[in-house]
Structure 1
Amino acid sequence: MGLSGCSGSADGHAGATATPSSPASAAPASQGAAQVPGPGVPKVETPIDTARFRAAPCGSLTPAQAENLVGAGIVPRPDLNAPAGPSCAWHSQAHVIVTFSNVDNLGLTSYYRAKGTVYPFFMPLDPIGGYPIVAYGQIDLRASKAQCEVALGTSDRDTVAVSVTQSPQNRGANGDACESAHQVAGLVLSNLKGGR
């Protein structure tokens, strides 16, 4: 399911890339203690404790998984103080960013509240092992930039965001960018569950 193809930048540098957005402006602060999940938001039946991965977000993908996705020799770049929450980025000709959201305590409810306003592009995807997931954004970047962001509910109050940009060589090879992001989220979920 590689996103990058055979050639990748060994030093991990690539041009500017988007960083995962968050539902920061989707819900007023006064709603932080709101009932979750909100109306129409799927419930997470079996919550996963992600604390260990929040402290070390690059553990969300194994080295072999990251190499398969973005190419060999790419050094992961953790950012424990990223605006949306602790994150790790793998950059080559393809990009993968995994973020453990700390914007609010509303989980997928924030994303659903932002549907049609902050996120005009909003598309629920097939759950992964019973865990709900949505693709979201200000615009649909699948065709123009081979990019997609998804949010996976790990509990009713927590999400993991995965942002994927396919490399020029692999655009559409294994489906569109949202299908690729869905697959990467599946890998992350498997690792999170293994670390419970």
Structure 2
Amino acid sequence: MRRRTILVLGAAALFLTACSTPNDGNPTPSVGGTSPAPSSWAGQVPGPDVPKVSVPIDLTRFRQVPCDALTSTQAQDLIGPKVEATPRNESAGPACVWVTPSTTRPSINVVIGNGPDGGTAAVYAAKGGAYKIVEPLEPIEGYPVTAYEVLAKRAEGGCAVALGTSDDQTVTVTAEQSEGNIGKKDPCDAARQAAVSVLATLRAAK
């Protein structure tokens, strides 16, 4: 089982990394961690077509330290051996971005969120409105994962996914590929793989 996990994480790094483009300034990922959170859906029960979360995850700790959402080992497996984590305050809530120093690609951005955002139901409801594309991906051990398009666009090597941690809460995981992988790998596969690591960390927290 351990060998399988290592192989999966190593594959994720291949999705994200290739020849990163140097940048003389500070790393500023162009793909934001925009939350899929129409507030009017907060507290509502998911409809019959919306996957439910049977074991909710308490995100309180990670709102205080969002960069704990990935361990240093997980971040290196996803991006590469040299990676830095930087906490951010976004409109949706606490966030953290992982990026190689002096580059903007590849990167992982995780937004924990300030509170209930309507969960996966809100993401589904926004299809055709706020989001041009809403695509359910394979769940991760019973937790729904949904790709949606706002700022992150597949053609540009970026993808955002909403990881359902309860029926009324999601965690946003955005991946941006290195320039060498754009058009060669599906960035939503990379975003989902990053969500696998994030979920493992969230569930392991005491």
TM-score (norm 2): 0.81
**Where in structure 2 are the equivalents of 1:1-196 lying within 5 Å?**
1-2=12-13, 3-5=16-18, 13-14=26-27, 17-24=30-37, 26-28=38-40, 31-33=41-43, 35-79=44-88, 81-92=89-100, 93-102=105-114, 104-138=116-150, 141-143=153-155, 145-171=156-182, 175-196=185-206
The structure-2 alpha-carbon separation of the partners of 1:66 and 1:139, relative to structure 1 and needing over 3 Å to count, comes to closer
* Change over 3 Å in CA distance of 1:178–1:194 after alignment to 2: same
Q: Please say if residues 84 and 98 of structure 2, whose CA atoms lie closer than 8 Å, have aligned partners that are also in contact.
A: yes
* Displacement of 1:6: 6.3
- Measure the CA separation in 2 of the matches of 1:70 and 1:113: 32
Separation in 2, partners of 1:177, 1:194: 26
Deviates more, 1:162-171 or 1:103-112: 103-112
CA contact (8 A) 2:162 2:170 kept: yes
Q: Considering fraction of residues, name the structure with more helix.
A: 2
Q: Number of paired residues?
A: 189
Deviates more, 1:11-20 or 1:43-52: 11-20
Cα distance in structure 2, aligned partners of 1:12 and 1:142: 25
Which residue identity lines up with residue 4 of structure 1 in the other structure? T
Give the SS at the match of 2:122.
Answer: helix
Percent identity of equivalent pairs: 42
Displacement of 1:22: 1.9
SS at match of 2:191: helix
User: 1:77 and 1:139, CA in 2 relative to 1: closer, same or farther beyond 3 A?
Assistant: closer
1:59/1:146 CA distance change after superposition, 3 Å: same
List per-residue Cα deviations over 1:57-103 (Å, max 9, x = no partner).
11111111112222333321112x31111100012320110011236
What stretches of structure 1 of length at least 5 have no aligned partner? none
Relative to structure 2, which stretch is displaced further, 48-57 or 95-104?
Answer: 95-104
CA distance 1:95–1:111, change in 2 (3 Å) = same
Q: Distance in 1 between matches of 2:76 and 2:46?
A: 36
What secondary structure is seen at the aligned counterpart in 1 of 2:35?
coil
TM-score in terms of structure 1 length: 0.85
Could you tell me how far 1:40 is from its partner in structure 2?
A: 2.1
Greater displacement, 127-136 / 162-171: 162-171
Q: CA deviation digits over 1:155-194, x for unaligned, max 9?
A: 1111110000100123355x40001101100010011111
SS in 2 for 1:117: coil
- Alpha-carbon RMSD across the aligned residues, in angstroms, is 2.5
* Local SS of the residue matching 1:19: coil
